[in-house]
């Protein structure tokens, strides 16, 4: 609660679990400064979409950037997030940087090399 009330930017990086579902709800949003920005690149249901939309439209929050939604894009045009003021949304592509693609490709090649050398990694 202290962090929510003092931070200018709150960026969420948590898995979706029963404990994190609705983690940022109307009560938590009310703790944030009106000048604060919320960033959600974690999972959509971590944030209460209707509460976020209300906070943005009532100018209780300066802005929000979201890359994840309760359902995957494409979203219905009446989705509360899409109607909110001061919202920047992307279609779940926040991971799609050149650096991330290169890192994943390198990991794949290293795993193939290890497998061919007889010592596979990350076996399930």
Domain ranges of the chain: 2-93, 95-124
**Contact (CB, 8 A) for 89 and 66:** yes
State the sign of the Cα–Cα–Cα–Cα dihedral 42, 48, 53, 59. negative
* Rounded mean pLDDT, 55-60: 95
- Is-catalytic flag, 113? no
Q: Which of 59, 72, 104, 106 is the catalytic position? A: 72
pLDDT at residue 16 in the model: 95
Tens of pLDDT, residue by residue over 62-104, are 999 999 988 876 777 777 777 788 999 888 787 778 898 899 8
Q: Active site includes 106? A: no
Indicate the pTM of the whole model. Answer: 0.76
Question: What is the pLDDT at residue 27?
Answer: 98
Q: Does residue 27 carry a catalytic annotation? A: no
Q: Rounded to an integer, what distance in angstroms lies between the CA atom of residue 32 and that of residue 10?
A: 9
For the domain 2-93, what is the CATH superfamily, name and number?
A: NAD(P)-binding Rossmann-like Domain (3.40.50.720)
Vertex 91 angle, CA 86 and 97, to 5°: 105
């Amino acid at each position: 609660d202290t962090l929510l009330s003092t931070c200018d930017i709150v960026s969420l990086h948590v898995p979706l679990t029963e404990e994190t579902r609705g983690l940022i709800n109307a009560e938590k949003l009310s703790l944030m400064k009106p000048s604060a920005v919320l960033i959600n690149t974690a999972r959509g249901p971590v944030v209460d979409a209707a509460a976020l939309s209300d906070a943005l439209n009532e100018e209780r929050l300066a802005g929000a950037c979201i890359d994840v939604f309760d359902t995957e894009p494409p979203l219905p045009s009446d989705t509360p997030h899409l109607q909110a003021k001061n919202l920047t949304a992307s279609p779940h592509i926040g991971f799609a940087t050149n650096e991330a693609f290169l890192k994943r490709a390198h990991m794949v090649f290293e795993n193939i090399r290890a497998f061919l050398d007889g010592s596979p990694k990350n076996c399930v």
